[in-house]
Structure 1
Amino acid sequence: MRLIATICAGLMAASPMVAQDRETLGYGRILTNDYFGDNQDRWRSGSYAYSIVRGPEWQGRAPTALGAVLEYRIRSEIIAPSMLSGSGSNDRAYVGAVSAGLHTHLSRGGADISMGVDLVAVGPQTRLADVQDWFHNIVSAPTISNGVLANQVGNTVYPTALAEVSYAVRLGENTSLRPFVEVQYGVEDFVRVGADIVIGEIMQNDLWLRDGPTGQLYAGVESDEPGTGFAIGADYAVVGDSAYFPASFGTQAQDERFRVRAGVHWRLGAGISYFYGVTYLSEEYVGQAEGQILGSLKLNFSF
Structure 2
Amino acid sequence: MLALAAGHAAAEPYRLERVTAVHVNDSVFQGLDRWRTGSAMLSVALARQGDAEAMPEFGDLLELRLSAEFVTPEFFLADGAGDRRYAGILSVGAHTHFRTRGLEATLGADLHVIGPQNRLHEVQDIIHVVSGGASAPPEDQMVPDSVWPTLAGELARPVALDEGQLVLQPFLGLQAGHETLARVGGDLYLGQAVDAGTFGREPVTGLPFRLSGAGGPGVWGSLGVDIAAVGSSALLGHGTGDEPRDTRTRVRAGLGYDVGRLTALAGVAWLGPEFEAQRSGQWTAAFALGLSF
Q: Which residue of 1 aligns with 2:97?
A: 105
Partner in structure 1 of residue 50 of structure 2? 57
CA distance in 2, matches of 1:19, 1:119: 28
Equivalences for residues 111-260 of structure 1 within 5 A: 111-146=103-138, 149-173=139-163, 174-223=165-214, 225-247=216-238, 251-260=242-251
Superposition pairs of residues 264-279 of structure 1, within 5 angstroms: 264-267=255-258, 269-279=259-269
The answer to whether the aligner puts 1:27 opposite 2:27 as a matched pair is no
Other-structure match for 1:296: 286
* Map of 1:48 onto structure 2: 40
Q: TM (normalized to structure 1)?
A: 0.88
Report deviation, 1:27. 1.8
Contact 2:178 2:233 (C-alpha < 8 Å) held by counterparts: yes
Is the CA contact 1:95–1:244 (under 8 Å) kept in the aligned structure 2?
Answer: yes
SS at match of 2:12: helix
Counterpart Cα distance in 1 of 2:151 and 2:78: 37
Compute the displacement of 1:59 (Å): 3.5
Alignment partner of 1:212: what SS? coil
Aligned to 2:87: 95
Q: Deviations over 1:123-176 (max 9, x none)?
A: 111111111111111122222233xx3221122110000000011100102110
User: What is the Cα deviation at residue 88 of structure 1?
Assistant: 8.2
- Residue identity opposite 1:292 in structure 2: Q
Question: How big is the shift at 1:76?
Answer: 1.2
* d(CA) in 2 for partners of 1:87, 1:266: 43
Q: Residues 4-29 of structure 1: CA distance to partner in whole angstroms, max 9, x if unpaired?
A: xxxxxx79x93795263421111233
Aligned residues: 289
**Residue of 263, 282, 293 corresponding to 2:272:** 282
Q: Which deviates further from its counterpart, 240-249 or 216-225?
A: 240-249
| Residues in 2 aligned to 1:15 and 1:34: alpha-carbon distance in whole angstroms | 44
Q: In the TM superposition, what is the alpha-carbon distance from 1:63 to its structure 2 partner?
A: 1.8
Structure 2 SS opposite 1:20: coil
CA contact under 8 A between 1:54 and 1:69: conserved in structure 2? Answer: yes
Number of the residue aligned with 1:4: none
* Structure 1 position 296, deviation (Å): 0.1
- Measure, in 2, the Cα distance between the counterparts of 1:122 and 1:129: 11
In the aligned structure 2, how far is the partner of 1:14 from the partner of 1:260?
A: 35
The counterpart of 1:70, out of the listed 43, 62, 66, is 62
Gaps of 5+ in 1: 1-9
Whether the aligned pair in 2 keeps the contact of 1:153 and 1:246 (CA below 8 Å) is no
Q: 1:301 to 1:209 in 2, by over 3 A?
A: closer
Q: For 1:39-66, what per-residue CA distance to the aligned partner results, in whole angstroms no more than 9, with x for missing partners?
A: 32100011112121112213425423x2
1:219-252 residue CA offsets vs partner (Å, 9 max, x unmatched)? 1113162111110000010001100014566621
Q: In 2, are the aligned partners of 1:62 and 1:105 still within 8 Å (CA)? A: no
What TM-score do the two structures reach when normalised by structure 2? 0.91
Q: Is the 8 A contact 2:183 2:229 kept in 1?
A: yes
The whole-number CA distance in structure 2 between the counterparts of 1:49 and 1:21 is 25
Shift of 1:302: 6.7
Cα 1:212–1:15 shift into 2, 3 Å? farther
Which one-letter code corresponds to 1:208 in the other structure?
A: F
Three-state SS of the structure 2 residue aligned to 1:172 is coil
Distance change in 2, residues 1:86/1:167 (3 Å) = closer
Assess if the C-alpha contact under 8 Å between 1:61 and 1:207 holds in 2.
Answer: no
Gap regions ≥5 residues in structure 2: none
Measured at CA, do residues 177 and 49 of structure 1 come closer, stay the same or move farther in structure 2, by a change above 3 Å?
same
Partners of 1:244 and 1:125 in 2: CA distance: 15
Comparing 187-196 with 242-251, greater Cα deviation is found at 242-251
Contact 1:151/1:249, CA 8 A, preserved across alignment: no
Give the superposition deviation at 1:86. 5.8
Checking the alignment, whether the CA contact within 8 Å between 1:214 and 1:259 is kept in structure 2 is: yes
